[in-house]
């Protein structure tokens, strides 16, 4: 009956026959029906159903369907058909990489070729080796296409082994007169840990003639390099106001006590956002946190500079000596459940019974700045690390006081922090 219905004049009948056959017939019977059908079928609508069948049938003849459909130029006219065909191929690519790459060389569908070559770089070292070798022998226009797909495939990855052939082509790509090619190649080189590329970027940072945008780019590439050789180049960028915010996070990878000295010396020169970023760095390692607390003890740094947010960050480092210093300079960070309840009750009672003249808005603002403002931004920000406070008043004074005494009592899943302790400390 299925064989008869696949000859029907209606494309809708033929399409539904494909779907129902895939759901009910034995694979051997299906192969006898569908493989010949895909070669003669002219309806793009029916071909969609055939493409949908690819991931649901045995690999061997599912690839026969894919290879036949990829050789039909008319399939370019149907965007959904192209995607269905790609989804079927993608599911099998990790186990059939070589076959997929051969298909990409023969296909009449340029979009499918792009998808396969992009995904090959994403899923395995073998895929990256294959595309890298294609880069070596490609003509300029084709080279740029492959380079763009390659860069997109590994974007965000770090520490990848250098693929076969990359060293043969990298230098010429870095020197290309086309900035798009240079940027894509540099992004790839960073993913592969290309030491020659990193040396180029350090030269850009060292040169006074390099403009700000070029230095920003160099810093973004060197973010992939944890070499200690970068440290003096990063420290030098702290002299340029426009680069401070980008440079500060890069310092966290170096366990060097001198970094704390440099940052504490420069702290008074920076604005609020820059100071907050610097404190984030200083609170990320025990050795630097101790220098911050020593500076507070000597009166070299205002105690108000150390917010509750940064104090908790220091406490989470798990250093006993640091925690003792923190208690001396900052105060007790944690309380027992009963102590918290008693303090909440006491403060709420004081609020309810105190006369209006006893309230000091200035003190409240000072407390907010010290305890809350690091996370609860007073204005709408692109990056929210804590919920908005508007509307809290309607929940009553006990709710407000509890959150002042113990801001971490209840934290929504969207705002829960994660502490990652690296092997380097």
Q: Per-residue pLDDT tens for 76-94?
A: 999 999 999 999 999 999 9
Mean per-residue pLDDT for 368-373? 75
Residue pLDDT, tens place only, 36-72: 999 999 999 999 999 999 999 998 889 999 999 999 9
Would you call 414 exposed, middle or buried from its count of C-beta atoms within 10 A (0-12, 13-18, 19+)?
A: exposed
pLDDT tens-digit map of 331-344:
766 555 677 778 88
Q: What is the pLDDT of residues 259-302, one digit of tens each?
A: 999 999 999 888 888 888 999 999 999 999 999 999 999 888 88
Chain segment 14-41, per-residue pLDDT in tens: 999 999 999 999 988 888 999 899 999 9
Distance CA 231, CA 252 (A): 10
Q: Are the CB atoms for 317 and 422 separated by under 8 Å?
A: no
Q: Helix 110-123 to helix 140-154 angle, to the nearest 10 degrees?
A: 50
Q: Give residue 413's pLDDT.
A: 67
Q: Are 412 and 367 in contact (CB under 8 A)?
A: no
Instruction: Give the confidence band of 366 by pLDDT, cuts at 50, 70, 90.
Output: confident
d(CA 15, CA 39): 15
Instruction: Identify the pLDDT of residue 28.
Output: 87
Cα–Cα distance for residue pair 271/133, rounded to 1 Å: 49
Find out whether 313 and 279 touch, Cβ atoms under 8 Å: no
Put simply, whether the predicted model's pTM sits higher than 0.85 gets the answer no
Over residues 230-253, the mean pLDDT reads: 93
Per-chain mean pLDDT for the chain: 88
Beta-carbon contacts of 221 under 8 Å, excluding residues fewer than 6 positions away, are 186, 187, 189, 190, 197, 198, 201
The least confident of 54-68, 132-146, 255-269, 404-418 is: 404-418
Among the listed residues 267, 269, 271, the one whose alpha carbon sits nearest the alpha carbon of residue 279: 267
């Amino acid at each position: 009956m299925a064989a008869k219905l696949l000859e029907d004049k209606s494309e809708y009948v033929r399409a539904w026959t494909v779907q129902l056959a895939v759901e009910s017939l034995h694979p051997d019977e299906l192969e006898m029906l569908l493989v010949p059908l895909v070669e003669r079928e002219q309806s793009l609508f029916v071909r969609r159903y055939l493409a949908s069948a690819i991931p649901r049938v045995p690999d061997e003849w599912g690839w026969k369907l894919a290879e036949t459909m990829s050789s039909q130029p008319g399939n370019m006219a149907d965007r959904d058909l192209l995607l269905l065909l790609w989804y079927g191929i993608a599911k099998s690519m990790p186990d059939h990489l070589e076959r997929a790459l051969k298909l990409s060389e023969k296909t009449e569908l340029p979009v499918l070729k792009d998808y396969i070559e992009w995904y090959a770089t994403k899923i395995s070292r073998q895929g990256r080796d294959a595309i890298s070798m294609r880069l070596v022998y490609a003509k300029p226009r084709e080279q740029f296409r492959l380079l763009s797909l390659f860069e997109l495939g590994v974007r965000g990855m770090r520490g990848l082994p250098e693929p076969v052939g990359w060293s043969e082509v990298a230098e010429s790509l870095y020197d290309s007169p086309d900035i798009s090619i240079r940027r894509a190649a540099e992004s790839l080189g960073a993913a592969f840990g290309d030491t020659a590329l990193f040396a180029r970027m350090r030269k850009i940072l060292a040169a006074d003639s390099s403009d700000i945008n070029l230095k920003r780019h160099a810093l973004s590439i060197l973010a992939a390099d944890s070499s200690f050789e970068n440290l003096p180049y990063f420290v030098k960028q702290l002299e340029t106001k426009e680069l401070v915010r980008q440079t500060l996070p890069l310092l966290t990878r170096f366990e060097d006590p001198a970094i704390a000295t440099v940052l504490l010396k420069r702290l008074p020169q920076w604005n609020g956002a820059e100071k907050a970023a610097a404190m984030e760095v200083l609170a990320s390692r025990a050795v630097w946190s101790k220098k911050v607390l020593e500076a507070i003890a000597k009166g070299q740094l205002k105690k108000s500079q150390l917010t509750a947010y940064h104090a908790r960050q220091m406490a989470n480092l798990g250093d006993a000596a640091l925690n003792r210093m923190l208690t001396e300079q900052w105060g007790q960070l944690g309380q027992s459940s009963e102590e918290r309840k008693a303090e909440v009750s006491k403060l709420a009672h004081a609020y309810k019974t105190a006369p209006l003249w006893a309230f000091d808005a200035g003190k409240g603002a000072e407390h907010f700045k010290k305890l809350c403002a690091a996370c609860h931004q007073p204005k709408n920000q692109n990056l929210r690390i804590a919920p908005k406070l508007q509307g809290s008043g309607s929940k009553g004074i006990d709710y407000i006081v509890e959150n002042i005494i113990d801001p971490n009592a209840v934290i929504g899943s969207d705002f829960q922090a994660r502490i990652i302790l690296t092997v380097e400390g």
